[in-house]
Amino acid sequence: MLDASPIRNDWTREQAEAIYNQPFMDLLFQAQTVHRQNFDPNQVQKSKLLSIKTGGCAEDCAYCSQSARNGAQLSASKLIEVERVISQARKAKEGGATRYCMGAAWRSPKDRDMAALEAMVKGVKDLGMETCMTLGMLDEEQVFRLRDSGLDYYNHNIDTSERYYSEIITTRTFADRIDTLNRVREAGIKVCAGGIVGMGEQQMDRIDMMLALATLEEHPDSVPVNMLIPIPDTPLADVEQLDPIEFVRTVALARILMPKTHVRLSAGRTDMSDEMQAMCFFAGANSIFVGDTLLTADNPEEDKDTALFARLGISAMALGCDGSR
Ligand code: SAM
Ligand code: DTB
Ligand code: SF4
């Protein structure tokens, strides 16, 4: 087994492969050891998502219910009102969420939307919550405007390996994604970047995706690991289901390569047993999305997560306790 190591941005493919492919018990033990060196293993952070603009997206992401180019029958909405966002955020806070993530089905925001987006960030921040947005690609001015209105985190996923990227999305490149991530980080907004597994990729793609994140100039503050939710009428609707152990290996690799990062067990929990989720927490996941809807897809009901936390003796991470970086 490789030694638990300090923060490194120079991981090699060989090292990542060796970590990923070691016997499962050794991998879990290493991941849990790194986890305990950096976090309270019995605390999990709760974020809540809200879709502020749904459907009709110009991009062709093969997994997504919101692409206008996919066959999924989701009608396009307009950007929702600022007041509605703030009242939903208030409810999420009452339910124990500390971070509020607002997502829009855009390739990138239009300048005419910026004032409303800024007001959303300010309003949610005034509730005492951490703010996060995911709006697609951003130019420098948009990054500065969001930062100046108080945006704490920006979510922008690389989704898969550079090699597999063009099989999944053709309307933008892997490099476009990295450009936005660099702009966000350079402006001082914390980066949330992860991806999806179970899209028919090879093991090497899962390893390379985590390697790409772990060799960015700085590790992302949060890495969401999504299990594909197959959406009817999208190109990935019938993709073969991934072995769950491969998913856990991917979570463990994220934890070991990026010791101080919040690894979020994101989409796909509805189809995971309590035991599978417990294994992901043991492998170093320490954040989830709560509430019965993600952006458009189902997520476990609040009661189910409360029962899961009680079963496992897990408590919700308080605001500020996750600021370990
Ligand atoms: N349009 C923006 C963008 O793509 O950056 C923000 C919203 S987009 C829906 C946010 C992320 O959700 C995607 O990058 C992808 O990782 C994840 N996602 C979307 N559909 C998914 C699905 N069916 N299963 C798992 N994850 C999904
Ligand atoms: C992320 O990595 N997962 C979240 C969040 N970032 C925006 C989104 C999951 C979306 C799942 C499919 C849906 O709800 O449409
Ligand atoms: Fe649009 Fe984002 Fe869905 Fe891609 S993932 S189609 S960019 S909403």
Domains of the chain: 23-310 (3.20.20.70)
Best residue among 59, 63, 106 to mutate for probing ligand 3's pocket (most ligand atoms within 8 Å of CB) is 59
pTM of the model: 0.95
SS3 223: strand
Provide residues with CB under 6 Å of ligand 1.
Answer: 63-64, 103, 105-106, 134, 136, 156-157, 159, 196, 226, 228-229, 231, 267, 295
* Residuewise pLDDT in 10s, the chain (325 residues): 444 568 999 999 999 999 999 999 999 999 999 999 999 999 999 999 999 999 999 999 999 999 999 876 678 899 999 999 999 999 989 988 889 999 999 999 999 999 999 999 999 999 999 999 999 999 999 999 999 999 999 999 999 999 999 999 999 999 999 999 999 999 999 999 999 999 999 999 999 999 999 999 999 999 999 999 999 999 999 999 999 999 999 999 999 999 999 999 999 999 999 999 999 999 999 999 999 999 999 999 999 999 999 999 999 987 654 443 3
DSSP string of 36-90? Answer: HHHS-TTEEEEEEEEEEE-S-BSS--TT-TTBTTS-------PPPPHHHHHHHHH
What is the whole-number distance in angstroms between the Cα of residue 124 and the centre of ligand 1? 22
- Please tell me the distance from the alpha carbon of residue 59 to that of residue 149, in angstroms, as a whole number: 27
61 is catalytic: yes
Instruction: Report which of 319, 190, 318 is spatially closest to residue 260, judged by C-alpha positions.
Output: 190
Environment class of residue 243 by beta-carbon count within 10 Å: exposed (0-12), middle (13-18) or buried (19+)? exposed
For 93, the token pair is 């806070």
Question: Residue whose CA is closest, atom 6 of ligand 3?
Answer: 67
For 124, the token pair is 């949610």
CA 86 to chain centre: 22
SS3 of 243-274: the string is CHHHHHHHHHHHHHHCCCCEEEECCCHHHCCH
101 is catalytic: yes
Phi, psi of 324 (to 5 degrees): -85, 5
132 is catalytic: yes
